[in-house]
């Protein structure tokens, strides 16, 4: 790996500091032997009596939105019914009946998942959490918020902003629900500073497939009291339990931020700058990699002119997109100066310091990356994670896979935490499958994992079953068996 020159020895970079640019522009263990429609119909009529008809929708009353999430490759499936639960008691009632009648149930938050996790089984029902949207408590002494699972990230942020607080996990889609975030262990751009959902969830209430309610964790940070069930349920994609309440950490809301866009000539320079940035003493809120094509497509999508000079546009291969955040302006200014200096020493072609409107637009553009890929006809997306040090090797090898298979691959990534997102443009399903398999295999070979944050769902299941350690898969099956003996919770997902 290349090394950054020390800022002290880099006279050129110090001179360059003056040029810090201010841009003024704009094999299942459970075989589901459901008795099919008869049991499901019985469940629907009994639930209508038990919960009230307003909470149960079936037949033509079901919108097609409940047949899919946002996965590019999944086949939609209309459920037999959608149950709009409003309380833990409702969830218990649904689960008990599903258990008695062996009807598969799939939990659904907002349906923004990218792996087919919320797609129902053909003979199953959807349990929608969209009516469980209460923020139950903001506890400023313990710095936690207690919420129902249907609360969206956007809604929680609005409430917390009123208290000068923030919940720091921000996957790109703010309409996603906290329950969905918990179930997928969502990450996003701020993971480099705050970790992912599992680092910010302190406690859960969840309902087992057999109807028991479990409370695990709470308003405290430490616990060494047996197996950590909170962490086991986080990331289980609705296959182990239905989450009915979540306790998350909250933090003081920083007042000041600075956004940088930093073009580089070589991908190796980007890679070597990441450990240098993180060792600099300031952890950026956001540290993202965007390739030139990706940046251009995203900027066009949100109508953003970043003011990057044509010369730099021509020579840059990729950019770092960095946000720094602090409670006081002086500290922020000092960090910005020191980081800019460091970036030049690491080979940055320029450091563009964006004014607030452009900064907000660039963040919006980055969050729109998935929609841009979809609009451009991407056939699949991959969210592999690898150790940061392996990023150059991974990107170079991925390029080779793309070339040998005549596949177009474009990339953005939460590079600060080693998470590379590729959009795969390959219409031939067989060839695409091979390309995705190779990319994921490569990630595992380099010490990584198949999915960093999108989850396995239905769409990455075949890759997990072929590439993951069989002993690990077998242990997962035994855990599933213990939580959900009849296999009614989100069958044919994950394992
Ligand atoms: C434009 C865009 C950008 C995105 N960017 C990111 C990103 O940067 N990082 C990231 O991590 N993700 C990202 N995502 C993916 C998505 O937003 C997350 O996966 C999110 O966590 C899903 O929440 P949801 O409420 O939509 O869940 P759904 O899609 O409804 O469900 C997801 C899974 O959770 C299960 N589930 C839902 N609620 C519950 C519950 N109460 N109990 C048990 N299981 C439940 C479902 O069964 C399913 O398996 C992005 C998606 C889009 C569309």
Q: Comparing 7-25+254-370 with 377-483, is the CATH topology the same?
A: yes
Residue ranges of domains in the chain:
7-25+254-370, 37-128, 135-252, 377-483
In which band, very low, low, confident or very high, does the pLDDT at 6 lie, cut at 50, 70 and 90? low
Flag whether pLDDT at 22 surpasses 50.
no
Q: Where are the alpha helices (DSSP H) in 290-328?
A: 292-302, 310-315
373-386 b/e (C-beta count within 10 Å ≥ 16 → b): beeeebbbbbbbbb
Indicate which atom in ligand 1 lies nearest the CA of residue 421.
8
- CA gyration radius for the chain? 24
CB atoms < 10 A from the CB of 263, how many?
A: 23
Assigned CATH topology for domain 7-25+254-370? Alpha-Beta Plaits (3.30.70)
Pocket of ligand 1, beta carbon within 6 A? 69-70, 106-114, 117-118, 129, 149, 171-173, 176-177, 179-181, 183-184, 186-188, 237-238, 242-243, 370-371, 453-454, 457, 490
Q: Angle, to 10 degrees, between the axis of helix 267-278 and the axis of helix 329-345?
A: 140
472 contacts: CB under 8 Å, gap ≥ 6: none
Query: Which tens digit of pLDDT belongs to each residue from 348-358?
Result: 999 999 999 99
Domain 377-483, CATH among 3.40.50.11900, 3.30.70.2740, 3.30.450.20, 3.30.420.10: 3.30.70.2740
Mind listing the pLDDT tens digit for each residue in 300-341? 888 888 888 889 989 999 999 999 999 999 999 999 999 999
Is it the case that residue 481 has pLDDT exceeding 60? yes
- With bands split at pLDDT 50, 70 and 90, how would you rate the model's confidence at 268? confident
Please tell me the CATH code under which domain 135-252 is placed.
Answer: 3.30.465.10
Pick from 259, 310, 317: nearest CA to 293: 317
Q: Could you say which of 3.30.43.10, 3.40.640.10, 3.40.50.10470, 3.30.70.20 is the CATH number of the domain covering 37-128?
A: 3.30.43.10
Q: What span, in angstroms and rounded, lies between the C-alpha atoms of 98 and 107?
A: 13
Ligand 1 atom at minimum distance from 368 CA: 1
10 Å Cβ neighbour count for 318?
A: 24
The residues pairing with 252 across neighbouring beta strands, listed in sequence order, are 165
Confidence (pTM): 0.92
């Amino acid at each position: 790996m290349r090394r950054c020159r020390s800022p002290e020895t880099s006279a050129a970079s110090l001179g360059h500091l003056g040029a810090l640019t201010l841009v003024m522009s704009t094999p299942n263990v459970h075989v589901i032997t459901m008795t099919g429609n008869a049991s499901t119909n019985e469940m629907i009529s009994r639930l209508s009596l038990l919960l009230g008809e307003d909470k149960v929708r079936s037949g033509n009353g079901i919108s097609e939105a409940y047949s899919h999430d946002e996965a590019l490759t999944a086949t939609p499936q209309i459920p037999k019914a959608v149950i709009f639960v409003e309380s833990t008691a409702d969830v218990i009632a649904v689960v008990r009946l599903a258990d008695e009648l062996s009807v598969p149930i799939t939990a659904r938050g907002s349906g923004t998942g990218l792996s087919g996790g919320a797609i129902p089984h053909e003979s199953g029902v959807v349990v929608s959490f969209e009516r469980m949207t209460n923020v139950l408590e903001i506890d400023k002494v313990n710095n936690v918020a207690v919420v129902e699972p249907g609360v969206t990230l956007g809604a929680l942020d609005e409430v917390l902003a009123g208290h000068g607080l923030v919940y720091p996990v921000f996957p790109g889609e703010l309409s996603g629900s906290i329950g969905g975030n918990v179930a997928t262990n969502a990450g996003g751009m701020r993971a480099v500073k705050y970790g992912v959902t599992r680092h910010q969830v302190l406690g859960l209430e969840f309902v087992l497939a057999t109807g028991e309610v479990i409370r695990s964790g709470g308003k405290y940070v430490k616990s060494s009291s047996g197996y950590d069930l909170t962490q086991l349920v986080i990331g289980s994609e609705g296959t182990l339990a239905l989450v009915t309440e979540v306790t998350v950490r909250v933090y003081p809301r920083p007042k000041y931020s600075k956004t940088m866009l930093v073009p580089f000539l070589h991908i190796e320079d980007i890679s070597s700058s990441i450990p240098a940035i993180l060792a600099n003493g300031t952890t950026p809120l956001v540290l993202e990699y965007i390739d030139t094509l990706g940046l251009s497509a995203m900027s066009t999508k949100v109508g953003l002119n970043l003011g990057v000079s044509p010369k730099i546009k021509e020579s840059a291969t990729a950019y770092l997109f960095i946000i720094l955040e602090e409670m006081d302006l002086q500290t922020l200014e000092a960090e910005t100066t020191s980081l800019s200096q460091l970036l030049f020493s690491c080979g940055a072609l320029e450091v563009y310091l964006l004014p607030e409107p452009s900064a907000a637009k660039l963040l919006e553009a980055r969050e729109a990356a998935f929609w841009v890929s979809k609009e451009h006809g991407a056939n699949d997306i991959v969210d592999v994670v690898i150790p940061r040090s392996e990023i150059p090797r991974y990107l170079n090898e991925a390029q080779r896979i793309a070339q040998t298979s005549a596949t177009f691959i474009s990339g953005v990534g939460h590079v600060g935490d080693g998470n590379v997102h590729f959009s795969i443009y390959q219409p031939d399903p067989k060839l695409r499958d091979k390309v995705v398999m190779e990319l994921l295999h490569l990630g595992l070979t380099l010490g990584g994992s198949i999915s960093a944050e999108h989850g396995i769902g239905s769409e990455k299941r075949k890759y997990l079953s072929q590439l993951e350690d069989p002993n690990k898969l077998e242990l997962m099956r035994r855990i599933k068996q213990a939580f959900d003996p009849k296999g009614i919770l989100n069958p044919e997902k994950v394992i």
